[in-house]
Structure 1
Amino acid sequence: MNFVASQFPAWVLWSANGLSVLLLLFAASRVAWRQLDGQAANAWLGACVVLLGFWLGRAGLEPGLSFHLLGGTVFTLLMGPALALLALAAVLLGLAAGGQLEWLALGLNFLLSLLPPVLLTSLLLRLAQRRFAANVFVYVFVNAFLCGAASLLLAAACGLTALVLAGAYPLEHVLENALPYYFLLAWSEAFTSGLVLAILVVYRPHWVATFDDARYLDKQ
């Protein structure tokens, strides 16, 4: 999404900005900064640059309705949820600094487009670890591929619901002219997430914070 500030009441925008700041401060407090792996951190910074490029190449039909890969699942699996939220927020700030997003709508974009994928990915990762065997295929297919698609659809549902409730677009309009595109984009998100994680767990598993060699490889 690329929400436009004029589509929402001022109190909604400022409340979203305040809540986003609080969430980011909490996320920063949860990161073990001194224990971060230097090589992994450099790779994560590179991931931010790549994602920024993906978002710059987004397509949009109407104000507030844009289509691009989110990267929320990849970032969460790579960095863990706390650091993923900070990294995704940094990408949003980069877009705003470049004039691609409205500063006043940053909090709303963060809460509705980025927070849901991170939360869903974290939840499904924990469920998979409890319910399924420790298997690389489960990690890549369930936690990366399927979760990538589900996370994008969840973010789309949150964003479209917000636009409808704010009166920016009627329900029939978003169901007919926007939602079908998100279903198509979800498969691109799934494929990209699954491919990236499959490559990394094979060649650079130490870059993936949520991948444990002892858990997934020693039992193969």
Structure 2
Amino acid sequence: MNLVSSHIPAGWAVALWLLLAGLFVVMWRQAAWRVLKAPGNLNVLLGATVALLGLWLIKAGVRPGLNIHLLGATALTLMFRPWFAILAMALVIAGLTVHNGQYAAYPANVLMMGVLPVSISWAIYRLVDRKLPNHVFIYIFLNCFFGAGITIALVGIASTLMAGALGIYSFNYLLENYLPFYLLMAWAEAFATGMVMTLLVVYKPEWVATFDDHRYLVSK
């Protein structure tokens, strides 16, 4: 879902901008900005952001505001942890917003397509990290493959509920012509994320902040 400005009720616009501004303030205070000073880290973050922007441009449009595309949020969360993942998603959505001019819809899109999937991905990672053994296959299949699939499925459900609650489209239309296709994207999202993260933990583990060779490989 990529909401357009006409979909945002006037009473919601100010509240959404204030909520997003508050989130950015918390990000400014909580994010470990010092890690970007390490050689290459900023380049990796910006490179991943540009790559994700290109991925989001490959999309299918059902109706205005009902675009379907891969998210990439789980991969960013595992690579950079939540605050920098949200920052990257916000930059991607900002680029698309400048391109299409739907500025009033920016905070809603960031919250729905950025903050929500990153939060779900991080919650899955934290749950797996606490409850299950540290093993590379558990990391790949649960955090990357399963995590990405369940994340995009839940975002699709949340997007459907939001669009229906706002009266953008009827629930019947959304359940027949939008949600099923979004749920089908779960397999593609899971496969793509699992493949990319597998390559990264093998060849560039230093790019994956949540992966530690000693925990997942050496100690085994």
Contact 2:35 2:41 in 1 (8 A): no
Residue 168 of structure 1: how far off its partner (Å): 1.2
Residue 28 of structure 1: how far off its partner (Å): 2.5
Contact 1:164 1:170 in 2 (8 A): yes
Matches within 5 A, 1:73-152: 73-99=74-100, 102-152=102-152
- TM value normalised by structure 2: 0.95
- Gap change, CA 1:10 and 1:38, over 3 Å in 2: farther
Q: Structure 2: which amino acid aligns with 1:26? A: V
Q: Distance in 2 between matches of 1:210 and 1:27?
A: 19
Q: Distance in 1 between matches of 2:188 and 2:63?
A: 21
> Could you list the runs of 5+ residues in structure 1 that have no partner in the other structure?
none
Moved over 6 A (4+): none
Residue 198 of structure 1: how far off its partner (Å): 0.5
1:181 aligns with 2:181: yes
Q: Structure 1: which amino acid aligns with 2:103? A: W
Q: Distance in 1 between matches of 2:165 and 2:55?
A: 28
Counterpart for residue 38 of structure 1: 39
Identity of aligned residues (%): 40
Residues 13-70 of structure 1, C-alpha deviations (whole Å, 9 max, x = no match): 2211221121122123222222333223212211111110111121111011000111
Matched position secondary structure for 1:80: helix
Q: Structure 2: which amino acid aligns with 1:19? A: L
Q: Distance in 2 between matches of 1:153 and 1:144?
A: 14
Counterpart for residue 167 of structure 2: 167
Counterpart for residue 20 of structure 1: 20
Q: Distance in 1 between matches of 2:28 and 2:118?
A: 15
Q: Distance in 1 between matches of 2:28 and 2:202?
A: 29
Q: Distance in 2 between matches of 1:148 and 1:62?
A: 25
Residues 72-92 of structure 1, C-alpha deviations (whole Å, 9 max, x = no match): 101100100011111110111
Contact 2:8 2:104 in 1 (8 A): no
Q: Distance in 1 between matches of 2:149 and 2:174?
A: 19
Counterpart for residue 58 of structure 2: 57
Residue 174 of structure 1: how far off its partner (Å): 0.6
- TM value normalised by structure 1: 0.95
Matched position secondary structure for 1:124: helix
Q: Structure 2: which amino acid aligns with 1:187? A: W
Residue 104 of structure 1: how far off its partner (Å): 0.5
Contact 1:80 1:210 in 2 (8 A): yes
Q: Distance in 1 between matches of 2:41 and 2:195?
A: 18
Contact 2:58 2:69 in 1 (8 A): yes
Residue 157 of structure 1: how far off its partner (Å): 1.4
Residues 134-156 of structure 1, C-alpha deviations (whole Å, 9 max, x = no match): 00111111001111011111111
Provide the aligned C-alpha RMSD in A.
1.2
